Every structure is written in structure tokens, then in C-alpha cells.
Structure 1
Amino acid sequence: MLSSLRIASRRAATARNLVAVRASSTWRNVAQGPPVRITEAFKADSFDKKINLGVGAYRDDQGKPYVLPSVRKAEDKVIASRMNKEYAGITGVPEFTKAAAVLAYGKDSSALDRLAITQSISGTGALRIGGAFLARWFPGAKTIYVPQPSWANHAAVFKDSGLTVNKYNYYSKDTLGLNLEMMLGDINAAYPGSIFLFHACAHNPTGVDPTEEQWKKIEAAVKAKGHYAFFDMAYQGFASGDVDKDAFAVRYFVSQGHDICLAQSFAKNMGLYGERVGAFSVVCANQSEKARVDSQIKILVRPMYSNPPIHGARIAAEILNTPELYEQWLGEVKEMADRIITMRALLKENLEKLGSQHDWSHITNQIGMFAYTGLTPEQMDQLAKEHSVYATKDGRISVAGITSENVGRLAEAIFKVKG
């Protein structure tokens, strides 16, 4: 029998070993990521008239999440059909991908017969597949140029895909609009055969889009340098209310002979945020090339997530392939876009009524869910601390968070910090 002293000694040794194990934990070097400051600060604010302009999702005029009636009808039809829950193929639900291609490129596009397309986990997933495909197969330098500024996740997605990320000039802080001259200069200065990412419409975060004539100049510069165009189209229809108008840049580049690649999202224009419905496509030279590209996309997707979810894709397919639902959806998309356009106009009008001497025309000149106000980080902090108005420090606001009820208070807050 062990003595009490030996038992105590062993227990002490065990305790020391446990301490040593904890001190050398496998995850001891994992750093704490930054907090989501807007969300946390908004939740902590007890003021009943606080305004959240940081959310990247559409809200109705009562500030509530909105499910499109066409989506409700399509979902009812999908559920009533009692389809099985078998896996989709690696590239997804074919009824969806075919219809998504037509929506993006146009029903008469020459690209449709030579298009390699896969369903993706929304637009982010499409970008990730595209980045991985380019990192593996793009014949030029594995460098992608993104606009400055751009959606915050672009750089992270492409870096994790294996690409080097550079930036090109896009937005002018002086004019609060497009800096076309410097943008074209950067396109011309880039190494020939580089990859350029373009927002097809409703540029995030600035809301500044090139005009059709400016897109033509951009296309000519890209062609002259032999660059490759990668389009991110997250807001088709949601920007102007017209799906064809919003797809102009994509279709124009294809018509000029560019074999582009494209990331599509149905989060915003169908409100299918949590369903994660998207598509990635590559315009190929011919059927043979299409078959080879398609095979390599499948090779990429298989170890990444094997195959995509089916429910949201079935809803989108039902809308896109049913004429009555499609027409209803087009009307609803326009209603959402029109509400955002109206909120822009009301914000500008209220600021002017308050006597602001600043030119607020950039608010109505911009388009889509987001607007660059031109406010400084210090002014944005002041909006939050003194007026319970929350948005990102770069001055970006989500116009979808503005309502008929809060637009007056928002204008007063901006007037007090900006004048």
C-alpha cells in the first residue's frame, strides 16, 4: 500500500503535468480575430430609434427582412412537388444553371453554347471557385487586380485561392465618383495578360458605376493590353431595376470577343440570402474547350464541398423557368430597386431642406444598395456615439436600412456632423 506521502507526491506531479499541457496547448498561438464592431455596438445601444446602416441585406420600408412573394410561390411549388433529397451533381441543379446563364448573358448570346457553368455557394462561393480555377489554369501571371476600394472579402477570397492581389484606382474622393482616367492608366500600366476584377453593376461599396460609354473605354483598354476580365455580378436587376441594363458590361465584353468568367449571386435580387444560391461560369472558345474546363471545375469542386445545396437552386429555377413567376419577380426586383432609389432622393432632399451647403448629388448619382457618403471616419464615429446611427467607418451606408420613418432623423444626424 502506498504511503500518504507518496500519494500526495504523485498527485502534485500529475497537477504539474496538467499545467504544463495547458501551457503548451495545440492552439496557444491562435490569434483573436477582430470583433464585428457595428453589430455589437448596435445591439448594445438601447435607444429605440437607433439606425443600422451597416447591414448588407435588403429591408422593407418598416426596416424588416423581406421575402419576395414570387419566392414564396416558387417555394410552395417546390415543396408541393415532393421531390427527393438526393445529391445534385457536382455542378448543381441543371435547370438552375441553364437559366442563370440565360439571365446573365442574354437568351441570344453566342456564349451560351460554349459556356462552362457550375452552381456555387452564392456569389462568394463562385468567386472562390473562380479564384482557384485561375490560380491553377490561367496561363499568365497569377495576379488579379481589384478596384480600390472593393468589397472587403474580395482580397481575402482571392488570396486564399492562391492568387496575388493588386489594386487599381477606381473611386475619386475629390469628385465622389469614378476616377476613369486613373483607372484606365492602371489598366494600361499593368503587366500584359493580367486578370482584372470588375463589378458588373452596383459597385460595392461606393455605388459608383461606369456609364455604358465608359465601359466601352474600359473594354478597349483591357483588350489592348490582353488582360483577362473576371466579372462579379451580385446585383443584377437589383441595381437599376432592369436585369438587361445591369448586365450591360458582361454582355458587351462578350460581344467584343472576351472569354470572360463570371460570378453570379441570387442573394440580393431574389432575397435568397441564407439559401446560398450562385453560379460561376467561364466563356470558352468552343465545345471542346468547354468540356475540358467543365472537367477541371468539377475536379476543384469535388474536394471543396462535393456538390451544392438544392433547395434554393430549385426555388430560383422555378422562378426563372416559369413565365408568370419570372414576370412577377422582375416586377418585385424593380420595386426593391425603386425603393432604394427613392430613399436616396429623400435623404438628399432632407439634407437640402435642413440648409446643408454641401453638394449631395453623389447620393442620387450612385446606384444600388450601398452609398459612399463622403463622411470621414471621425464623422462616422460621431454619428454612432451621438446619434445612434451605425455604419462602416469609411462612410459607406446601406441605403436599404433607410426608411420613410427614419430618413428625416438620419438627415438631421448627418447635418449635425457634416453641416
Structure 2
Amino acid sequence: MRTQFPPSSAHGSPSPTDRRLSALVRHLGVGDHSASSMESQDPNPAISPSATAAFSGDSVFANIVQAPEDPILGVTVAYNKDPSPVKLNLGVGAYRTEEGKPLVLNVVRRAEQLIINDQSRVKEYLPITGMADFNKLSAKLIFGTDSPAIQENRIATVQCLSGTGSLRVGAEFLVKHYHNRTIYIPQPTWGNHPKVFTMAGLSVKSYRYYDPATRGLNFQGLLEDLGSAPSGAIVLLHACAHNPTGVDPTTEQWEHIRQLVRSKGLLPFFDSAYQGFASGSLDTDAQSVRMFVADGGECLAAQSYAKNMGLYGERVGALSIVCRTADVATRVESQLKLVIRPMYSNPPIHGASIVATIFKDRDMYTEWTIELKAMADRIISMRQQLFDALRARGTPGDWSHIVKQIGMFTFTGLNTEQVASMTKEYHIYMTSDGRISMAGLSSRTVPHLADAIHAAVTRVA
């Protein structure tokens, strides 16, 4: 049997495709020398039935029940099924343009083009810890270029699968190597937090955070709950733009929290999903993390580049563990490798290459910060427009929290029944707790949302 090729070109000389296929065949070692063995094989061998081939009973998975939709991702599923031309999806945690379209940053497209044009790039595996340049530059982004912890090599940073993967790797590391397996998370918090930590083996408890009465921070409750937490417990802190409430502590409140955490010997674990995306300033949005690093204590920080660089589907993130000494950091990194290796072996290369390319070029970095601020400013503008629209309609209640809160999400204060009525009557989709994505709004859709909120508040208790 001989390998068949497509016909040669009309002039009798091999076409480029023929030449490539011939080279591939030679590379794979397919040719006359294997023909006899290949010809001796039956091309259509009979498949002998196994002992269980005639089994016709129920599936071994027959008792599995249908799982409910994810409460956040399920919003988009319901939205997609709605044929209404005025439908509005405010559940998705992804930036949208004024036209309601997904955005790929110009600087990201530039970086990708450079990567594509670089013929020296290959698709080999990254190390278990990921791309070295990406890790180094990610640490500088969140901790600051002049951070003593960086200068003293006290930080172990590994590339992970966006924020979720960074949290999971950190959690599994703590389960294996930290003496306390209890983590305190804010109430409320991102819906995936309790699942990530529980699946990793941590015991999840909560501390008060949001005050429904003021639609602001329950600072006293936060201090009381963390103050009564056992020494050594882990505490999850949102670095900025708390999800879902959009409520952040002030600088003074962060200092009180820092003092309490350190005096109790608690271990802070920061989730930084919105650096630069909240206020428009990378430094301002990292201030809380840097306060905890400046005191010389230890902490963990999970970073995501989904929002601030629009790399949602690339799954680009990093986990950093700040240690007391460089020696401890070296040993911590060695153990992080043992967590990652059986989990996903090593991280993907493309997204991290984009981030590193932008960070290493001063002009591209500057362009990124400009585009990042433009996204943040548009969200801030949507807050102001919605507040003004509700005030113009005389909607009952104090809606100042919409402009006081920060980041992608606003915790409107609407209850489950009001949310359901807005979906039914106005085809507006959001999570049942009243959280809306400000990034999903535009100047065109603000009046529609304001009408829906006004109707829900005045008609539904």
C-alpha cells in the first residue's frame, strides 16, 4: 500500500501542497518500508463483542440529578432565550462599549500582532510556575516597583488561570501547608468564592460587610466579626471594587482593618480582580494590598487580567505569596509547583505573552493605562446617568449609593420580587440579589433601566 497524494499541478511539477505533504510523510516515516506490514493488516477488522456488550440496563449515572444553572452565568442563559428586542443583560461581569459590544483593547491587538509576527516564538510548554517575565511584572503591578518585598525577593509568584485559578491554587496550598483551615469571607461576596474554598478543603465562615440599611459598609460588624475570629484564621479581602456590592472601605478604615488583622494573627488573602478598572488608577486600586505588605507581614494576593486588560477568555492571572524571608519564599514556590503540577501541569502561554509584551514596552504600557482609564470613566459616567435618571423620575428612596459605590457592579438594593418583575415586564436581566453590571449599560439603555427600577419600586413591595 502506498501513500496517496493529491494530483500534481497542471504542468507536472509538484505543487507547494504536494511538497509539504511529502515532507510530512518523510518526517513521520510513512513509506514503502512499512507497506508490507500495513497491507497485512485487515483494513476493516471485526470488533469482538466484550462481555458487557449486551448489557442494556440503565446508565451507571442514571441517579445523577440535573444541576441548577450557575446563579450568575444562568442570567445570560435566560437572556439569550428571550426574543424581546428591548432585552438588557446586566448580569454579565464583562465590559461592554457604549454600543453594547464586547471590547478588545487596541493595545492588546497590537501586542498580539507583535507576537504573531515574531517567528522565534514557539508553542513549547511553559514552566510549572508560568512565564518568568509575566510573574515578575505582575508582582510589580500590584505591590509597586519600589516594594521592599520585591527588592528583598520575599515574594513567590506563579502564573495561574485567571483570578479563579489563582484563588484555587492558593487555597490548596494553604490546606496543605498552613496550620489553620478556616477562611472568613465577606457577606455577601462573589458567588464563586465559597465554592472555590470549600472544594479546596477549607472551612468557610463569613464576616459582616454590607449594611442593607445604608447600602454601604457595615464597618462595626466587620470589626466585631474579625475581632472574634480565632487567631491564625485566613481572611479574604477584596482589594478594590468589592463584588457584588461596589462598597469599599476608606483608607482610614483599611488601616483599622490592617491593625486588627495583624494583632489577631490573621492571614490576609486578597482577591484583586479590578486593579485600575475601579478608579482608573492602578496605584489607587492597589493601595489596600500595599498597606499590608508595607508592615512586613505575610499575605496572599490573587490577580486577574480579565477585566483590566479585557483578557476574559485568555484566563490570565497570578498568585503571589508574600513571605517573611527570601528563603521561605523559595520553599513556598517549590511547594506551589507541587500543587499546580497535578492540577493543570502548567499555564497557557498566549495571554501571559500579551500581558508581558505590553508591560515591557513603555509606550504600550502607557496606552494600556489610557484605555483602562477610559473604561473606568465610562462606568463612572453610567453611574451618574442612572442616578440622575432616577432622581428625574422621582423614584422613591435615596439612590446616592449608585454614585458612591465603585467598580463594575452596583448593589441596587432591589429585592428578589422587584428583580423578577423587571425581568418579566421590562426584559432586564440581573442576579436575584439586585446586583447590576454598570458596564452593561449605555446612554441609550439608561432610561429603560430607570423606568424599570421606578416601576418596580413603586409597584412591588
| CA deviation map 1:249-273 (0-9, x unaligned) | 1000111222111100000000000
Kindly report which structure 2 residues correspond to 1:245-264, keeping only aligned pairs within 5 A, or say none. Answer: 245-264=284-303
| Other structure's SS at 1:274 match | helix
Match of 1:51 in 2: 88
The answer to whether the Cα contact below 8 Å between 1:228 and 1:260 also exists between their aligned partners in 2 is yes
| CA deviation map 1:152-200 (0-9, x unaligned) | 0011101111110101100001110000000000010011111000000
The answer to whether the aligner puts 1:220 opposite 2:254 as a matched pair is no
Unaligned stretches of 5+ in structure 2?
Answer: 1-50
Match of 2:156 in 1: 116
Aligned residues: 402
Kindly report which structure 2 residues correspond to 1:15-414, keeping only aligned pairs within 5 A, or say none. Answer: 18-19=55-56, 21-22=57-58, 25-36=59-70, 37-82=74-119, 83-112=121-150, 113-139=153-179, 141-414=180-453
Tell me the TM-score normalised to structure 1 length.
Answer: 0.94
Match of 1:3 in 2: none
Q: Report how far residue 221 of structure 1 moved.
A: 0.8
Q: 1:35 is aligned with what amino acid?
A: E
Q: 1:89 is aligned with what amino acid?
A: P
Q: 1:78 is aligned with what amino acid?
A: I
| Other structure's SS at 1:197 match | strand
CA distance in 2, matches of 1:85, 1:40: 34
CA distance in 1, matches of 2:77, 2:136: 41
Q: 1:74 is aligned with what amino acid?
A: A
The answer to whether the Cα contact below 8 Å between 1:207 and 1:372 also exists between their aligned partners in 2 is yes
Q: Which has the higher contact order (CA 8 A, sep 6+)?
A: 1
| Other structure's SS at 2:312 match | coil
Match of 1:11 in 2: none
Task: Report the identity percentage.
Answer: 51
The answer to whether the Cα contact below 8 Å between 2:396 and 2:457 also exists between their aligned partners in 1 is no
Q: Please report the RMSD computed on the Cα atoms of aligned residues, expressed in angstroms.
A: 1.4
The answer to whether the Cα contact below 8 Å between 1:373 and 1:396 also exists between their aligned partners in 2 is yes
The answer to whether the Cα contact below 8 Å between 2:301 and 2:319 also exists between their aligned partners in 1 is yes
Match of 1:4 in 2: none
Q: Report how far residue 409 of structure 1 moved.
A: 1.0
| Other structure's SS at 1:63 match | coil
Q: Report how far residue 370 of structure 1 moved.
A: 0.6
| CA deviation map 1:262-292 (0-9, x unaligned) | 1000000000001000000101111211111
| Other structure's SS at 2:342 match | helix
Unaligned stretches of 5+ in structure 1?
Answer: 1-13
CA distance in 1, matches of 2:65, 2:99: 40
The answer to whether the Cα contact below 8 Å between 1:229 and 1:258 also exists between their aligned partners in 2 is no
Q: Report how far residue 321 of structure 1 moved.
A: 1.3
| Other structure's SS at 1:120 match | strand
Q: Report how far residue 70 of structure 1 moved.
A: 0.7
